[in-house]
Chains A and B, each alone.
Chain A
Amino acid sequence: MLGKANLGTRFLLVYLPLLGYLVFLLFPFYWMIITSFKRDVDIFVLEYNPFWIENFTTDNYRFLFTGTAFPEWVKNTLIVAVASTIVSLFCSVLIGYALARLRFRGSNFLGVGIFLAYLVPPTLLFLPLAQVIARYELFNTYWALIFTYPTQLIPFASWLLMGYFRTIPRELEECAMIDGASRLRAMWSIVMPLAIPGILSAGIFSFTLSWNEFLYALIFMSSGTMKTIPVGTVSDLIRSDVFQWGALMASAVLGSIPVAFIYSFFVDQYVSGLTAGAVKG
């Protein structure tokens, strides 16, 4: 009897709220997915059950690939996201390592400074950055975004990696250095392999942010085929007050796949990377 009562209360207190939360959380995705498979006319027919697909169609996806520059957007987004992730990771690993390990004048000040840089809102930063991009004539090139995204990515990734590097015992490197490795070699052969969870976390963070970024992409790279998925979706699939809901949702579905894919693969490392930095950093 007791066991049964326990099960009942547990259901009420744990599973029911969780279930409610899950529905709340996943509903937008559900809505996005079903809408992307509906015919445009059906979306506005109120007699149909709005939570179900009455006439299944892949027209929206077909339109995306034939009627718009969607494949170009994907290519652009991929190039920009991958390149800025690589640039950011390379810089952040060096910065994070230096802040965690090397004793030099002003290292604390520098650490705090980098963190403060992260707190500057991108919406303020884009004005001066736009001038820089204009002066170097980089508008509507990949470089416009590859150079500007790291301004947001490096500060956070550096802090995350600094916290992670601090969790790796210093003696390991000291031992490697006595064993005959230079500092760079010790960093490469000993610290890097152990920092993989942290580096993965920083990489996922950077990739996700660059993949989804909207503001800079809209301003710096928005003409013709040089658009990213978020910008292209909004600018080409909304024609003044006409919302092509089916295509919009199809683009959103395809756009979220890579990020969802990466997260589901690396979720363990991501969590351990973030928490290591959080607890010991």
Chain B
Amino acid sequence: MARVTLDQVIKRFGDVVAVDNLSIEIQDKEFLVLVGPSGCGKTTALRMVAGLEEITSGSIYIGERLVNDVSPKDRDIAMVFQSYALYPHMNVYDNLAFGLKMRKIARAEIDRRVKEAADILGIGELLSRKPKQLSGGQRQRVAVGRAIVREPAVFLMDEPLSNLDAKLRVATRAELIKLHQRLQTTIIYVTHDQVEAMTMGSRIAVMRLGVLQQLDTPQAIYDHPANIFVAGFIGSPAMNFFTMGIGSTESGVELVGQGFSMALAGQMARSAAPYAGREVILGIRPEGLDRMSQGETEETGEIAAVVEVVESMGSEAHLYLSLGERSFVAKMDGAAPVRVGDQVKLAFDKEKTRLFDPETEEAILPEPALAIA
């Protein structure tokens, strides 16, 4: 049980900055997911917490203890590797027991803990097998089991599901969530898969090119992405972006884009006002777009577009649409009664759209004073 604190941590490999000034405070018993595309520094960050990489500058605390110069074995952590890193020459029992033997724990206690972990994970029958005799899913369980038996203060997991097939990945995802609830231990989990991040994390840290982009709960990140990168990375299919000019009408501020326009009211109009005469990026989530029905209100915007591709998944359908030269995606519930080439009118909730600055790529937020008013 422990908090983990990264304070202005920097890691350089030669001239390359892998992790740039990363500060995260991970609460006790929290499930923190580090997510980002490959090369974003998430694994390096995790390896620094593990003590497998030295940090160039900054400090890392586990609990109240500064661990910058503490060797991995003395950090009271356990790690699950992407490749599982099971010891090939030992059977499952010895794999699970290795960490305990290293710590000179009594044989009876080792036996009790190994059996208990094997029970939790349902690998009791496999204890005498060698890793190469196990399936991918079984190996993954053994890797998790090896971490559990240690009863560490912090679990570190480096893409533990990425070697499983899609179906098993979903099942194991749920099991890891249950395991976290049962063990009540701090977990730092690295993944490049935003679905894993959304479903598993109590909080998500989105990273890009070594820099922390946003750190918040999954819902807050989904609803209020801090910038275009986060908006595009979290959510599947990705958010649609439209470059819009800002004009003013007698009723207020209006966004004018290729093929459609949208009048802004209230808070959004106020936050967009400083951009008058310039361009902004409008972000609309695919699930925010729906086919026009009766009863639109002031809050509804609309786009007319041509259907190019229909991907039907049974419970939902993705429409790939074109609007002039731009293409974008809409996500519909159920089967979509449209065909390729159809002209459709789509409605969206203006309140759920996001505006971004085209230069800084940051979200344009309502000014705090005005938001309160």
* Stretch of A56-64, A111-119, A136-144, A179-187 on the interface side: A179-187
Q: With the chains together, A185 CA to B104 CA distance in Å? A: 14
The stretch that binds B, out of A19-27, A40-48, A167-175, is A167-175
The residue from A174, A189, A190 contacting B81, defined by CB atoms under 8 A apart:
A174
A121 CB within 8 Å of chain B:
no
A1 within 8 A of B: no
Name which of A178, A182, A190, A194 has the most chain B CB atoms within 10 A of its CB: A178
What residue of chain A has the Cβ atom nearest to residue B79's Cβ?
Answer: A178
A219 CB-CB contact with B under 8 Å: no
- Contact of B276 with A by CB under 8 A: no
How far does the Cβ of B18 sit from chain A's closest Cβ, in whole Å? 15
Query: Residues of A contacting B98 with CB < 8 Å?
Result: 176, 179, 189
* Minimum CB distance partner of B47 in chain A: A174
- Give the complex CA separation of A190 and B99 in angstroms: 12
When the two chains form the complex, which single residue of B72, B102, B146 contacts A174, counting CB atoms closer than 8 Å?
A: B72
B87 & A172 in contact (Cβ 8 Å cutoff): yes
Q: Which chain A residues (161-208) contact chain B, with CB distance < 8 Å? A: 169, 171-172, 174-182, 185, 189-190, 193-194
A194 / chain B contacts, CB cutoff of 8 Å: 88-89
Looking across the interface, which residue of chain B has its beta carbon closest to that of A175?
B85
- Taking CB as reference atom, which chain A residue is nearest B88? A194
Per-residue CB proximity of B98-113 to A under 8 Å, as 1/0?
A: 1100110000000000
Max chain B C-beta neighbours (<10 A), residue from A176, A180, A182, A193: A180
B71 touches A177 (CB 8 A): yes
Q: Which A residue's beta carbon lies closest to that of B73?
A: A180
User: A171: nearest residue on chain B (CB-CB)?
Assistant: B85
Cα distance, A189 to B98, chains bound together (Å): 10
Asked if B50 is at the interface of the complex by the 8 Å CB criterion, the answer is yes
Interface residues of B in 91-137 (CB under 8 A from A): 98-99, 102-103
Would you call B52 an interface residue if the criterion is a C-beta within 8 Å of the partner chain's C-beta atoms? Answer: yes
Q: B234: CB under 8 A from chain A? A: no
CB nearest neighbor in A for B74: A180
B73→A178 contact, CB < 8 A: yes
What is the chain A residue whose CB lies nearest that of B156?
Answer: A178
A to B contact number (C-beta, < 8 Å): 57
- Contact A180 B87, beta carbon cutoff 8 Å: no
* Residue of A171, A177, A190 touching B83 (CB-CB under 8 A): A171
B89 adjacent to A193 (CB under 8 Å): yes
From the candidates A169, A171, A172, A180, name the one contacting B102 in the complex (CB within 8 A): A180
With A179-B102, A179-B146, A180-B103 given, is the CB distance from A172 to B73 under 8 Å? Answer: no
Q: Which of A176, A178, A185 contacts B50 (CB 8 A)?
A: A178
Complex CA distance for A179 and B81, rounded to whole angstroms: 12
In contact, B52 and A180 (Cβ under 8 angstroms): no
**A182 to B, closest residue via Cβ:** B73
Indicate whether A178 sits within 8 Å of B88 (C-beta atoms), given known contacts A169-B83, A171-B81, A171-B83.
no
**Bound-complex Cα distance A211 to B88 (A):** 34
| Contact assessment for B89 and A178 in the assembled complex, using a CB-CB cutoff below 8 Å | no
- Contact of A175 with B79 at beta-carbon distance under 8 Å, contacts A180-B103, A181-B102, A185-B102 already known: yes
Chain A proximity of B343: nearest CB distance (Å): 54
Q: Which residues of A contact B50 (CB under 8 A)?
A: 174, 178
1/0 contact string of B179-196 vs chain A (CB within 8 Å): 000000000000000000
Q: How far is the CA of A179 from the CA of B73 in the complex (A)?
A: 6
C-alpha spacing A179/B95, complex, angstroms:
10
Inter-chain contact A180/B99, CB cutoff 8 Å: yes
**Residues on the B chain within 8 Å of A175, using CB:** 79, 81, 85, 87, 146
Q: How far is the CB of B143 from chain A (nearest CB, A)?
A: 9
Q: A173: nearest residue on chain B (CB-CB)?
A: B85
Residues 47-74 of A, flagged 1 when their CB comes within 8 A of B and 0 if not, give: 0000000000000000000000000000
Q: Which of A169, A172, A177, A179 lies at the interface centre, i.e. has the most chain B CB atoms within 10 A of its CB?
A: A179
Q: Is the CB of A178 within 8 A of B83?
A: no
Q: Residue B19 at the A interface, CB < 8 A?
A: no
Task: Indicate if B2 sits at the interface (CB-CB under 8 A).
Answer: no
Q: How far is the CB of A164 from chain B (nearest CB, A)?
A: 14
Bound-complex Cα distance A197 to B77 (A): 33
* Assembled-state Cα–Cα distance A171/B47 (Å): 11
Question: B78: CB under 8 A from chain A?
Answer: yes
- CB proximity of A189 to chain B, nearest CB, Å: 8
Residues of B within 8 A of A177 (CB): 52, 71-73
Q: How far is the CB of B238 from chain A (nearest CB, A)?
A: 32
B99: chain A residues within 8 A (beta carbon): 178-180
Instruction: Return chain A residues, CB-CB under 8 Å to B285.
Output: none
Q: Which residues of B contact A171 (CB under 8 A)?
A: 81, 83, 85
Q: In the complex, what residues of A have CB within 8 A of residue B102's CB?
A: 176, 179-181, 185
Say yes or no: is B150 at the interface (Cβ < 8 Å to chain A): yes
Report the nearest B residue to A179, measured CB to CB.
B99
**Cβ of B340 to closest chain A Cβ, rounded Å:** 48
Bound-complex Cα distance A260 to B26 (A) = 63
Within 8 A of A (CB), among B23-82: 50-52, 71-73, 75, 77-79, 81
In the assembled complex, which residues on chain A have CB atoms less than 8 Å from the CB atom of B85? 169, 171-172, 174-175
Shortest Cβ-Cβ A-B pairs, 5 listed: A180-B102, A179-B99, A171-B85, A175-B85, A180-B73
8 pairs of residues in contact across A and B, judged by CB atoms under 8 Å: A171-B83, A172-B88, A174-B72, A175-B81, A175-B146, A178-B78, A179-B99, A179-B146
18 other A-B residue contacts (CB within 8 Å) besides A169-B85, A178-B52 = A169-B83, A171-B83, A171-B85, A172-B85, A172-B88, A174-B52, A174-B72, A177-B52, A177-B72, A178-B79, A179-B99, A179-B102, A179-B146, A179-B150, A180-B73, A180-B103, A182-B71, A190-B87
Residues of B within 8 A of A (CB): 50-52, 71-73, 75, 77-79, 81, 83, 85, 87-89, 98-99, 102-103, 146, 150
